[in-house]
Amino acid sequence: MKKGLFIFIVLLFGFMLLMAGCSGTDNGVETDLQPDSDKVTSPPLPEMPIVITDQMGREVVIEEIPQRIISLSPSNTEIVFALGLGDRVVGVTEYCNYPAEALEKDIVGGFSTPNIEKIIELEPDLILASTIHEEEVPRLEELGIPVMVIESSTVADLFVSIQLVAIVADVPEAGESLVSSMQDRINAVGSVVAEVDQDEKIKVYYEVYSDPVMTAGQGAFINEIITLAGGINIFGDINENYPQVSAEVVAERQPDIILYPDYHGTADLVLDSMAGRPGWESIPAIQNSRIQAASDDIFARPGPRIVEAIEEAARLFYPELF
Amino acid sequence: MTGLVMLLFLTIVLGTMLGAVSIGWRNILVMLFDALPFYSSDRALEIAPVYRDILLQIRIPRVLLAAAVGSSLAVSGAVFQGLFRNPMADPYVIGISSGAALGAVFAMLSGFSLSVGGFGAVPLFAFFGGTLTILLVYSMARVGRAVPVMTLLLAGIAISSFLSALVSLLTYFAGEKLHQVIFWLMGGLSGATWLQVKVMVPYALIGYCCVSLFSRELNAMLLGEETASHLGVDTEKVKKILLAGASFLVAAAVSTSGIIGFVGLVVPHFIRLVAGPDHRFLIPASALLGGILLIATDTLARVIIAPTELPVGIITALIGAPMFIYLLKKRKKLKYFGGGG
């Protein structure tokens, strides 16, 4: 029927994702990319104009190879730079702090509050948006600017997103090599932690937020990072992205290690509060002081640095193996 | 009244027994007896220590905090409704919540890490924000020695709007602390600790005594201030004390658990519908029912889709509102504020 890829992802949206890029539940991605397959096959390269259907079910028509790209989320920015397209980026959000070159680009607003006027002024020929930009996307489209919504809730999605951006920007090889190098690093971690017996695996509690106690459930990217790093997310059974959970259950499930996102400058506060949390005295992670800060930018952004998050998590889980 | 006391006891027991983790009532009894200073049981040693922690450090403080907060909100709601002779009045009517919210949000965004007596910056700022707001509203509404109730209400609404706008402004610029702000504003009891209970319960008792001593005068005030002063009530003094007591209760509740709506508005009406507007009964009964309602709804919030917790405010309104509507339909004739009210 249509040329190109069909991607349907239904996203449940939470404001928790303000900084994190987003994650969501995934209704199956029609793709032959699997994170556990060693060989990466790229989708067939279509001729210009490229027509793709993105996550908002919109057809995106790319007439020419984009030279002036605006990214509306930190994870999109990281993808574009990782593909070596940094020179073509003309605008980013105020939260796009990686790589360092991104800080020199014009800022078009916050993540959830991009400024349309500022965007138009930069005369982009491609905008990489996110599902949070539901309001802005149609307005930008009316103005004749192609907008592509990039949204990954799993590593497999992320690989597809990277390939898509690479194809649209006419650098398919860069996309393939980035994906395969990421896949290699994930496999490398996987082969090391594969030695750990299933019942020896470390039980991980990831505290997204302290009051109320909030964690990462099945739908969250964090859950996949923990799993790929050889850990067991104690709340991997909850079919939500960021459920609020009972402090009682955290105590009952006896995690061996606690991770929490290090938002700038909050690390010490969290650490203090965690150690003295009433009712958690018998948790092994607390008794053995295994409470670790995870860099939120790396752990929560569905971008190329996700492999760093997986490596970092594996090192924290099994320091004796790395 | 005896029925309510029994019911409160029952909800405390149920709230202690039910939770995301099932402990078993036998084990709970064993551990409770074992926790008493003059009795220790060998059976308690067989229970994994984690269950003791869960019961004594997480669940029981939360149930007790729910009782104290629910009571405080219901009592202050009853007082404000009586004082303003306005059925729409709730604990937050004259801006305590906006003041507390401004204090709390300010503390979150400025990242103060001070702590006094084990309390962090957020509850402290919330408490002072709430109390300062009341003082401000009071001094704005004062005309000479008198404080007209209507002026007080309007000054409260004006200041409350202004402070809410400031809260919105700060929220807009909250960036990555946005979720912290939103959760605080939604309110909840999930962070309950013994420390909060130890502070909140005395506060609730002081505020309650302060208010309940003047329930007779409050009855007189329902007939209008002029009538009340003919009956020998020093209306200005009574207003001042009742305002102070009720505000004290609300500020304490808000600073420990954020802004929990509905309880303070509806519980007093509930009691009025059933037992009439006499404050000598209304105030203690509101205290009991407020505690019961908040323990019950918080317990539901904890167990309904365990291990996930729901925000308690959602449950409170979902369950309380239909019950209240049912009661309204059943009682065609309302006697709200005595006299012709």
Distance from CA of A7 to the nearest CA of B (A): 30
The pLDDT of A101-118, averaged and rounded, is 86
pLDDT of residue B50: 82
Tell me which chain B residues have a C-beta less than 8 angstroms from the C-beta of A252.
Answer: 20-21, 50-51, 54
Name beta bridge partners: A106. A91
For residue B333, with 0-12 CB atoms within 10 Å meaning exposed, 13-18 middle and 19 or more buried, which class applies?
exposed
> Each residue of B146-176: pLDDT tens digit?
888 888 889 999 999 999 999 989 888 877 6
Across chain A, what does the average pLDDT equal? 81
Q: Residue B90: what residue type?
A: D
Q: Please name the member of A18, A244, A266 whose beta carbon is closest to the beta carbon of B308.
A: A244
Q: Select from A15, A269, A280 the Cβ nearest to the Cβ of B179.
A: A15
Q: What is the pLDDT of residue A22?
A: 38
pLDDT at A28 over 50: no
| B314 near A CB under 8 A | no
Q: Residue A43: pLDDT band by 50, 70, 90 thresholds?
A: low
pLDDT on residue B329: 79
Amino acid at A150: I
| Section A195-201 average pLDDT | 88
Closest CB from A245, A248, A282 relative to B49: A282
A97 vs chain B: nearest CA distance in angstroms? 14
B260-277: pLDDT as tens digits: 888 888 899 888 888 888
Among A248, A264, A268, A281, most B C-beta atoms within 10 A, so best to mutate, is A248
Instruction: Give the model's pLDDT for residue B290.
Output: 94
Asked if pLDDT for residue A138 goes beyond 60, the answer is: yes
Distance CA A304, CA A75 (A): 8
Distance to chain A for B109, nearest Cα, Å: 12
Taking Cα atoms as reference points, which of A122, A95, A3 lies closest to residue A51? A3
The answer to whether residue A209 neighbours chain B at the CB level (below 8 Å) is: yes
Nearest CA in chain A to B114: A269
A-chain CB neighbours of B176 within 8 Å are: 18-19, 263-264
Mean pLDDT of the B269-297 span: 90
A16 to chain B, any CB pair closer than 8 A? The answer is yes
The answer to whether A114 and A94 are in contact (CB under 8 A) is no
Q: Are A2 and A53 in contact (CB under 8 A)?
A: yes
Contact call for residues A69 and A90 (beta carbons, < 8 A): yes
The two three-digit tokens of residue B23, written as one number: 């402990």
Phi, psi of A248 (to 5 degrees): -55, -45
Model pLDDT for residues B218-233, shown as the tens digit of each residue: 888 888 878 888 888 8
B105-146 pLDDT, tens digit each: 888 888 766 666 667 788 888 898 999 999 999 888 888 878
pTM across the whole model: 0.78
The alpha carbon of residue B58 is apart from the nearest alpha carbon of chain A, in Å, by 6
Q: What percent of chain B has pLDDT over 70?
A: 94
Write a three-state SS string for A21-56: CCCCCCCCCCCCCCCCCCCCCCCCCCCCCEEEECCC
Window from A22-26, A122-126, A298-302, B37-41 with minimum mean pLDDT: A22-26
Residue B56 C-alpha, separation from nearest chain A C-alpha, in angstroms: 7
Provide the pLDDT for residue A264: 59
Phi, psi of B33 (to 5 degrees): -65, -40
Find, in chain A, the residue whose alpha carbon is nearest to that of B18.
A248
Chain A partners of B179 at a C-beta cutoff of 8 Å? Answer: 15-16, 18, 209
Structure tokens at A303: 């971008």
- Contact, A115 vs A91, CB < 8 A? no
Q: Under 8 Å CB-to-CB from B309, ≥6 apart: which residues?
A: A212, A213, A244, A245, A246, B20, B190, B301, B302
Q: Which residues of chain A make contact with B188, given a CB cutoff of 8 A? A: 212
Strands A69-71 and A126-129: parallel
